[in-house]
């Protein structure tokens, strides 16, 4: 078996079995991942940086721990990390020139937790600059290609993580999802992506884009692997006051007990409208049939404020981003312009040189919607409509356990096709942003391919903090569809 084949199929579950049966060491496993990266990343360009020495040192430590009797699903398992999550001593550029050369001073809580469980961090994955985008084309450094068709985008903003997992360059990865950035790239590349409920996972040490929406989520080959990663990273964190202070349920048990029998699956009529690619819709219809045959009850529901979600999201997210990105000023972090004429000039030049076009667009938009005179008309109003969107979901979840929808209106598009048309790209987020605004948890699972072989994803959504239901439904669907 060639090394690349090994990593292409390797899951966390399988890796941990091989490790605990001593059939393979963490060093061997990590070497296999690094070898796959060497072979494939020239073409796919999923990684921004890989530090082989450091990865192997982490693997050696995991092997030693196992030799001393330690065990665990993640002990010695290599994991790739999106380049906006801080890993102490590693670069963290957020795919932006403004953070070029920046090294993290501390571990994000999700990293500290994975580290405690013995995961081996192998490299930093590419993304849209500061997670703003849906195709990873807004990276300041490189264009990641979809491993299933190199002429196409991997989705975004966690496109590097998705491409690494789907392209056989990682066993599993972390991404972040503000308005769809875990779910949509998972769908475009054909892997599993889970966005936890807002407040389930700590944002401490995760570079902020839109603080009321951001969540870290697993990107994996199986639902079970996503449960393993979420089990490790979830839970209350004193460093993040928005995390829920309650015990984390047993997600692996939810996966083991998965079944669709008696599960009420809601189909929101606003998500089944013209405009979605017919091949995508055909796969979604097939997924619904599969669920029904497996004993699920299909219910029609309505989310009447869906049509406002994109507008609300692009007001709230840009407003928060404009405030969060104020810290990149040439003084405290990152790039500083040479020979500024004044302090104002230092800020202006450093930011003009450091940020890319999409980030600037959003800072300008966000500053505008927050400015006095426009605040009430835009930001204040958007917050009110956000409440209506959340209430729509509350009502719907009175009638069903999960919702089933497409992840995106199309499969992966060609590189360059939407890059210069921001509105077109924003509209592609129509099925993912409403759940983000409402703080729901959601999963994206492969559910078929187009005639050209491009992956199609189905989205399951569950009420806030109902990840167990989400895992039950997701794994139930995988088992029923034989995927
Ligand atoms: N595509 C959305 C945006 O550009 C979502 C990004 C994200 O989830 N980070 O804002």
Residue 2: is its pLDDT beyond 90? no
What's the whole-number mean pLDDT along residues 396-410?
A: 98
| Residue 428: closest CA among 442, 406, 410 | 410
Q: What is the pLDDT of residue 1?
A: 40
CA 258-262-266 angle, 5° bins = 95
Q: How far is CA 291 from CA 31, 130, 251, 265, 462, in A?
A: 40, 37, 21, 8, 16
Per the CB < 8 A criterion, the answer to whether 442 and 435 are in contact is yes
Per the CB < 8 A criterion, the answer to whether 177 and 162 are in contact is no
Report field, pTM of the whole predicted structure over 0.75: yes
Q: What is the pLDDT of residues 39-76, one digit of tens each?
A: 999 999 999 999 999 999 999 999 999 999 999 999 99
Q: What is the pLDDT of residues 275-289, one digit of tens each?
A: 999 999 999 999 999
CB crowding 231-242: b at 16 or more within 10 Å, else e = bbbbbbbeebee
What's the whole-number mean pLDDT along residues 334-338?
A: 92
Q: How far apart are CA 341 and CA 46, in angstroms?
A: 39
Q: What is the pLDDT of residues 142-151, one digit of tens each?
A: 999 999 999 9
The structure tokens listed for 349 are: 């030049």
Q: What is the pLDDT of residues 253-274, one digit of tens each?
A: 999 999 999 999 999 999 998 8
From 134, 217, 435, the mutation candidate for ligand 1 (largest count of ligand atoms within 8 A of CB) is: 134
Q: What order of strands is seen across the sheet that includes strand 297-301?
A: 47-50, 120-125, 78-82, 173-177, 215-220, 192-195, 441-449, 455-462, 402-406, 264-268, 297-301
Q: Give me the DSSP letters along 432-479.
A: THHHHHTT-EEEEEEEEE-TT--EEEEEEEE-TT-HHHHHHHHHHHHH
| Residue 189: closest CA among 444, 459, 471, 481 | 444
CA dihedral 60, 65, 69, 70 (to 10 degrees): -120
Contacts of 84 (CB under 8 A, 6+ apart): 92, 94, 95, 127, 130, 131, 176, 206, 207, 209
Map out the domains of the chain with their CATH numbers. Answer: 3-252 (3.90.1300.10), 256-303+399-420+430-481 (3.40.190)
Q: What is the pLDDT of residue 420?
A: 86
Residue 478: is its pLDDT beyond 80? yes
Q: What is the pLDDT of residues 189-242, one digit of tens each?
A: 999 999 999 999 999 999 999 999 999 999 999 999 999 999 999 999 999 999
Residue 5: is its pLDDT beyond 60? no
Residue 482: is its pLDDT beyond 90? no
214 C-alpha vs ligand 1 centroid, how far in Å?
Answer: 9
Q: What is the pLDDT of residue 374?
A: 93
Q: What is the pLDDT of residues 78-133, one digit of tens each?
A: 999 999 999 999 999 999 999 999 999 999 999 999 999 999 999 999 999 999 99
Alpha helices (runs of H) in 371-432, residue ranges in sequence order = 381-396, 422-427
| Residue 15: closest CA among 27, 5, 29 | 29
Residue nearest to atom 4 of ligand 1 (CA): 133
Q: Which helix (H) or strand (E) holds 50?
A: strand 47-50
Q: Is the CB of 132 under 6 A from ligand 1?
A: yes
Q: What is the pLDDT of residue 473?
A: 98
From 128, 423, 427, the mutation candidate for ligand 1 (largest count of ligand atoms within 8 A of CB) is: 128
317 C-alpha vs ligand 1 centroid, how far in Å?
Answer: 9
Residue 10: is its pLDDT beyond 80? yes
210 C-alpha vs ligand 1 centroid, how far in Å?
Answer: 9
Per the CB < 8 A criterion, the answer to whether 358 and 133 are in contact is yes
Q: Is the CB of 207 under 6 A from ligand 1?
A: no
Q: pLDDT-derived band of residue 332, with 50, 70 and 90 as boundaries?
A: confident
Q: What is the pLDDT of residue 419?
A: 87
In degrees rounded to 5, what are phi and psi of residue 442?
-155, 155
Average pLDDT, rounded, for the chain:
96
From 129, 155, 157, 439, the mutation candidate for ligand 1 (largest count of ligand atoms within 8 A of CB) is: 157
Residue 4: is its pLDDT beyond 50? no
Q: How far apart are CA 413 and CA 155, in angstroms?
A: 8
Residues labelled as active-site residues: 82, 157, 181
Percent of the chain topping pLDDT 90:
96
294 C-alpha vs ligand 1 centroid, how far in Å?
Answer: 34
Q: How far apart are CA 46 and CA 472, in angstroms?
A: 31
| Residue 279: closest CA among 483, 453, 146, 155 | 453
Percent of the chain topping pLDDT 70:
99
Residue 429 Cα: closest atom of ligand 1: 1
């Amino acid at each position: 078996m060639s090394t690349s084949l090994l990593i292409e199929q390797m899951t966390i579950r399988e890796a941990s079995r091989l490790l605990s049966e001593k059939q393979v060491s963490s060093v061997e496993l990590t070497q296999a991942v690094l070898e796959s990266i060497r072979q494939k990343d020239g073409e796919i360009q999923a990684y921004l940086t890989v530090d082989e020495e450091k990865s192997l040192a982490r693997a050696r430590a995991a092997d030693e721990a196992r030799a001393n009797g330690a065990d665990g699903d993640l002990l010695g398992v290599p994991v790739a990390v999106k380049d906006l999550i801080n890993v102490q001593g590693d670069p963290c550029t957020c795919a932006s020139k403004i953070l070029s050369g920046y090294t993290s001073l501390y571990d994000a809580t999700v990293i500290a937790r994975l580290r405690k469980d013995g995961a081996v961090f192998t490299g930093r994955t590419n993304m849209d600059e500061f997670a703003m985008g849906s195709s990873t084309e807004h990276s300041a450094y490189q264009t990641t290609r979809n491993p299933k068709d190199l002429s196409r985008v991997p989705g975004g903003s966690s496109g590097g993580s998705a491409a690494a997992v789907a392209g056989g360059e990682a066993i599993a990865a972390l991404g972040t999802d503000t308005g769809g950035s875990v779910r949509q790239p998972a769908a475009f590349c054909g892997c599993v992506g889970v966005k936890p409920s807002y407040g389930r996972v700590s944002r401490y040490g995760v570079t902020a884009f839109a603080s009321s929406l951001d969540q870290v989520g697993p990107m994996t080959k199986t639902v079970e692997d996503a449960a393993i990663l979420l089990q490790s990273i979830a839970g209350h964190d004193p460093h993040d006051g928005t995390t829920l202070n309650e015990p984390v349920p047993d997600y692996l048990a939810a996966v083991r007990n998965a079944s669709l029998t008696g599960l009420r699956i809601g189909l929101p009529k606003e998500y089944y409208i013209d405009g979605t690619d017919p091949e995508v819709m055909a796969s979604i219809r097939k997924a619904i049939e599969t669920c029904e045959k497996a004993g699920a009850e299909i219910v029609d529901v309505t989310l009447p404020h869906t049509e406002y979600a994109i507008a609300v999201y692009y007001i709230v997210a840009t407003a928060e981003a404009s405030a969060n990105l104020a810290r990149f000023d040439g003084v405290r972090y990152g790039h500083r312009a040479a020979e500024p004429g004044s302090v104002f000039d230092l800020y202006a030049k450093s930011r003009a040189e450091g940020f890319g076009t999409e980030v600037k667009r959003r800072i300008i938009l966000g500053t505008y919607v927050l400015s006095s005179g426009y605040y009430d008309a835009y930001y204040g109003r958007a917050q009110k409509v956000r409440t209506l969107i959340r209430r729509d979901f509350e009502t719907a979840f009175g009638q069903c356990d999960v919702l089933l929808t497409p992840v995106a209106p199309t499969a992966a598009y060609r590189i360059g096709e939407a890059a210069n048309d921001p509105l077109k790209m924003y509209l592609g987020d129509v099925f993912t942003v409403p759940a983000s605004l409402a703080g729901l948890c959601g999963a994206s699972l492969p559910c078929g391919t187009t005639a050209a072989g491009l992956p199609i994803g189905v989205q399951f959504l569950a009420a806030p903090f109902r990840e167990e239901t989400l895992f039950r439904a997701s794994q139930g669907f995988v088992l029923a569809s034989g995927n």
